[in-house]
Amino acid sequence: MSGVISMVKIERKSFGQEIVVEENPVSRFLFMNTKSAWIWLILRIYLGYSWFKAGVGKVTSDVWTGEQAGLAVSQYMEGALARVSEGDVSAWYGWFLENIVIPNATIFSYLVAWGEVLVGIGLIIGLLTGISAFFGALMNMSFLLAGTVSTNPIMFMIAILLILAWKVAGWYGLDRWALPYLGTPWKIASR
């Protein structure tokens, strides 16, 4: 009984005060230590290459960015709309596709094609890695919501990990110089 009372006293003392929860050693190593940067480099290059390759295929395709720009997006979204009735695509997302994406298929075609290329480049060279991974995850989630599984779940999970590791994921890349310039508070650890 006294343990319960003392816990209540601690909670009362800490209510309204700032409590700092320290990182556990695994999280600290993975997400805050540059010694783990080689792990993120491998995942970053894999994901970046996947996005870049897919984007280049679209940018050089007539139905994505050429004379018939928007055709591929329209056809893909029409297929996704057909899956709404099957329950593979949510009704709200079907509404979004029908009322926002399909009427603006040409714009979305360019956004997807060039977005994939830019996300790929950002991840490969390690520039604004967390932001690049975020936009990659956003595209993966869009494809998943449209009912396409393929490699999207794997790519999505890697992107989420890169977002979490944004401070060190680009250490072997341009982020090593760009992030301190932008205000990331890196410092040499004291022992």
3-state secondary structure 148-189: CCCCHHHHHHHHHHHHHCHHHHCCCCCHHHHHHHHCCCCCCC
Does any domain span residue 121? yes
User: Does 16 fall in a domain?
Assistant: no
Is 0.75 surpassed by the pTM of this model? Answer: yes
Domain assignment of residue 49, given as a range:
34-182
pLDDT of residue 114: 98
> Domains in the chain: how many in total?
1
Find out whether 62 and 68 touch, Cβ atoms under 8 Å.
yes
Note whether residue 4 is domain-resident.
no
Q: pLDDT tens digits, residue range 112-166?
A: 999 999 999 999 999 999 999 999 999 999 999 999 889 999 999 999 999 999 9
Q: To the nearest whole number, what is the mean pLDDT of the chain?
A: 90
pLDDT for 23 equals 86
Whether 19 is covered by a domain: the verdict is: no
pLDDT at 141: 97
Residue 50 lies in a domain: yes
pLDDT value of residue 19: 85
Residue 71 is assigned to a structural domain of this protein = yes
**pLDDT class for 6, splitting at 50, 70, 90?**
very low
Q: How much is the pLDDT for 181?
A: 87
C-beta separation of 48 from 119 below 8 A: yes
The pLDDT of 58-86, averaged and rounded, is 94
Flag whether pLDDT at 170 surpasses 50: yes
| 68, part of any domain | yes
Which one has a higher pLDDT value, 7 or 45? 45
Spatial CB neighbours of 101, under 8 Å, sequence gap ≥ 6: 73, 77, 108
What is the pLDDT, as a whole number, of residue 87? Answer: 86
> What digits encode the pLDDT tens for the residues 12-34?
555 678 888 888 999 999 999 99
pLDDT the model gives residue 16: 73
- What local confidence, expressed as pLDDT, does residue 4 receive? 47
In a domain, 12, yes or no: no
Give the C-alpha separation, 176 to 47, whole Å. 19
